[in-house]
Amino acid sequence: QVQLVESGGGLVQAGGSLRLACAVAGRTFSDYAMGWFRQAPGKGREFVATISQSGRRTYFADSVKGRFTISRDNAKNTVYLQMNSLKPEDTAVYYCAANRSPPDAIFTSHHSYDYWGQGTQVTVSS
| 66: pLDDT strictly greater than 90 | yes
Contact between 22 and 4 under an 8 Å Cβ cutoff? The reply is yes
**Where does the pLDDT of residue 26 fall: very low under 50, low under 70, confident under 90, or very high at 90 and above?**
confident
Mean pLDDT, residues 58-83: 97
Amino acid present at 100: R
| 15: pLDDT strictly greater than 90 | yes
Report the pLDDT value the prediction gives residue 102, as an integer from 0 to 100.
87
pLDDT digits (tens, 9 = 90+) for 82-115: 999 999 999 999 999 999 988 889 999 999 999 9
Average per-residue pLDDT in the chain? 96
| Residue 121 to residue 29: CA distance in whole angstroms | 24
